[in-house]
Structure 1
Amino acid sequence: MLRMRSSLTALLLWASAGASQALTVFACEPEWAALVRQLAPQAQVTSATHARQDPHHIEARPSLIAALRRADLAVCTGAALEAGWLPMLQQRAGNARVQDGAAGMFYAADHVTLIDPRPPGTPFDGDVHSEGNPHVHLDPDRLLAIAQALSQRLQQLEPARAAAHRERWQAFEADWRTRMAAWRERAAPLRGTQVAAQHSTYAYLWHWLGMAQVADLEPKPGMPPTPGHLQRVLEAMRAAPPRAVVVSLYQDGRPAQWLAQQLGGGTRLLQLPSTVTEDGQAPELAALFDGLIAQLLEPR
């Protein structure tokens, strides 16, 4: 009888420890790591990439394989953004919890409608995403919808913490809606303005702010700018130069700098973060939008 009681006590202690143990989360991009930290601050989070890396092209390093092998939950963009590296990580990690279709595999793009879907292309067409543009985190409304779906997944994975997860989501939602109203009011002068940019990274942000991207510095999606293509872009925009030429932190800024200089003093070069950063510039999602809007509003 004493042995049975001891075994029962050990089982209860193990269950209690399991219930209190924090989730281990693998985030494919920094924006999802930041979102998880807001919705589940007790989670242990690893981000596979940072703001100065192109999320389309990541090496499946042993450290990332090990991190995914330990994960209870993986949060990624989906829509083929990580198609070049995530399937290899999943295969080598051998973790059933984070395989496609498992409760521990969360794709943000599955929970919102994407813009600009394209017919499947060939390798010569560049980084064409047939499901639509995957950079959904730069639309505050879509980000809110993704946050709600992610909170529900966290509640499913951690039923003992479901009430706490619901409270965190409710606080996040209230704060985010207040911030969205302030961003819309602050960014009102940007509505109707035009930019040239490299890639479609900020397409959701332009749409949300009422701006228009009138030229792409890439001759094909994901392909670096070429002199001939830049010259054609320049000629097409000379008559009505855009407010800015925009590139991401991970992109080579020299082609954009050349184009901005050729267009004249009325067009600024902006090298913007496309996600949260580690250097303090935009350490959280709200700070990312604060900074993006502030830089876009700076006078020409």
Structure 2
Amino acid sequence: MRKMLFLMVAIAAVISTPVQAKLRVFACEPEWASLLNELAGDAITVDIATNALQDVHVVEARPSLIAKMRRADLLVCTGAQLEIGWLPQLLRQAGNTKVSAGAGHFMAASQVTTLEKPASIDRSAGDVHPDGNPHVQLDPYRVLAIAKALGARLAELDAANATTYQQRLGDFETRWQAAIKAWEAKAAPLKGKSVIVYHSSWVYLLQWLGMHEIGSLEPKPGVPPTSSHLSSLIDVTKSGGAIAIISAAYQDRRPGEWLSERTSVPAVVLPFTVGGDDQAKDLFGLYDSTIDKLLGALK
């Protein structure tokens, strides 16, 4: 009887003890959702706004996204005005003050130094980002700096799991540093090589690998390729010794293929973010696939 009474009291205590809800995070892009998984695992719940086959510049503020934003405890996006066309509207409609500013508002590009920050803004130059080029996910050193800042932010918002975040960050850093060394050794043949790009998305990747952009399929950033501009790139591609014409998984492949047919330089589709191809299942796979495909162009 006493054992039964003790058991009933124990069960009642468990039932009456409130279960702490998981931190809920709204990630704008797949690369940050993948990083969150590395740093937190199942300690948090993550909603992702976009996928690798979407142009993140152009996203509809759908009711489903508004609902996800409304219940978020933390917002993790690229920033540097990459999401300027839809994120402010989404925040306004969600009305969630926890993530509109302060500790619940995390912009990855704000944690690092951006490249190509213009001295002045001239909209006639195309889609220019005042805070610099936002595509920081393609530099592994910047990703590590962002990971450290994001790990600290998670611990600040969810002190109960701070030890978990710290341990997972340490594990990620160890694996990531080892991967960087392996990637750099493997990508050594790419150093000094030139490419044609679709959009100004690759500056961090090219700088890291010591490669050069010698032309863009877009006549201006954000302006779709035209036949006259593509024709002007034929000589540039040949004389510049380009090894590839690169585009992201979400971009139209036809302009690159048109130029490839006339120059015999391969058109290569890179994943650009997590989920961009079968190999890019996480951040490690993103870099593995990117380097493998660039090396493939050399052959």
Q: Does TM-score exceed 0.5, indicating one fold? A: yes
SS at match of 2:196: strand
Matched residue, 2:121: 121
Deviations 1:142-201 (A, max 9, x none): 000000000000000011111111001000000100000000000000000000001111
- Specify the code of the residue in structure 2 equivalent to 1:95: N
Q: Which one-letter code corresponds to 1:281 in the other structure?
A: Q
Aligned pair partner of 2:17 in 13, 16, 19:
13
Q: Could you tell me how far 1:49 is from its partner in structure 2?
A: 0.4
Q: What is the aligned counterpart of 1:269 among 267, 270, 273? A: 267
User: What code does the residue aligned with 2:113 have?
Assistant: T
- Which stretch of structure 1 is more off in the superposition, 226-235 or 137-146? 226-235
Aligned residue for 1:144?
A: 144
Output the CA distance in 2 between the equivalents of 1:45 and 1:88. Answer: 20
Q: For 1:231 and 1:121, locate their aligned partners in 2 and report how far apart those are by CA, in whole Å.
A: 29
- Is residue 58 of structure 2 the alignment partner of residue 50 of structure 1? no
Unaligned runs of 5+ in 2: 1-12
After superposition, residues 231-270 of structure 1 pair within 5 angstroms as 231-264=231-264, 267-270=265-268
- Number of the residue aligned with 1:3: none
Q: Deviations over 1:216-242 (max 9, x none)?
A: 111111111011111112233332330
Q: What CA distance in whole angstroms lies between the structure 1 residues aligned with 2:60 and 2:22?
A: 28
- Does structure 1 conserve the Cα–Cα contact (< 8 Å) formed by 2:27 and 2:49? yes
CA shift digits 1:258-286 (9 cap, x unpaired) = 1111112xx21101111000763311000
- Counterpart CA distance in 1 for 2:187 and 2:202 is 15
Letter in 1 for 2:17: L
Aligned equivalent of 2:281: 283
Partners in 2 of 1:242 and 1:156 — Cα distance?
A: 47
Query: Helix, strand or coil for the counterpart of 1:41?
Result: helix
Mapped partners of 1:97, 1:228: distance in 2? 49
Q: Is the 8 A contact 1:30 1:276 kept in 2?
A: yes
Q: CA deviation at 1:119?
A: 3.9
For 1:239 and 1:297, how far apart are their aligned partners in 2? 20
Distance 1:240 1:123, change over 3 A: closer
- Unaligned runs of 5+ residues in structure 1 are 1-8
Alignment TM-score, normalising by the size of structure 1 = 0.91
Q: Which amino acid aligns with 2:164?
A: A
Aligned equivalents of 1:199, 1:260: Cα separation in 2: 16
1:61 — aligned with what?
62
SS at match of 1:238: helix
Residues 186 and 225 from structure 1, CA distance in 2 versus in 1: closer, same or farther, beyond 3 angstroms? Answer: same
SS at structure 2 position matched to 1:243? strand
> What does residue 161 of structure 1 align with?
161
- TM-score, normalising length from structure 2? 0.91
Q: Kindly report the root-mean-square deviation, in angstroms, between the aligned alpha carbons of the 2 structures.
A: 1.7
- 3-state SS of the aligned residue for 1:103? helix
Counterpart for residue 10 of structure 2:
none
Q: Does the CA-based 8 Å contact 1:120-1:129 persist in structure 2?
A: no
Find the aligned partners of 1:200 and 1:113 in 2 and give their Cα distance. 17
Q: 2:294 aligns with which of 285, 293, 296?
A: 296
Note if contact 2:31-2:274 (Cα within 8 Å) is conserved in structure 1.
yes
Does the Cα contact within 8 Å between 1:75 and 1:106 map onto a contact in 2? yes
Aligned to 1:6: none
Distance 1:295 1:268 in 2: 11
In the alignment, which residue of structure 2 is the partner of 1:185? 185
**Counterpart of 2:195?**
195
CA distance in 2: counterparts of 1:202 and 1:30, whole angstroms: 17
CA contact (8 A) 2:198 2:217 kept: yes
Residues 32 and 76 in structure 2, CA contact (< 8 A), matched pair in contact too: yes
CA contact (8 A) 2:270 2:276 kept: no
Q: How many residues align?
A: 285
SS in 2 for 1:134: coil
1:70-85 to 2 correspondence within 5 Å?
A: 70-85=71-86
1:26 has 2:30 as partner: no
User: Retained in 1: the 8 A contact 2:214–2:236?
Assistant: no
Aligned residues of 1:241 and 1:263 also touching (Cα < 8 A): no
Q: What's the counterpart of residue 227 of structure 1? A: 227
Q: 1:55 is aligned with what amino acid? A: V
SS in 1 for 2:195: strand
Residues 196-211 of structure 1 correspond to what in structure 2 (within 5 A)? 196-211=196-211
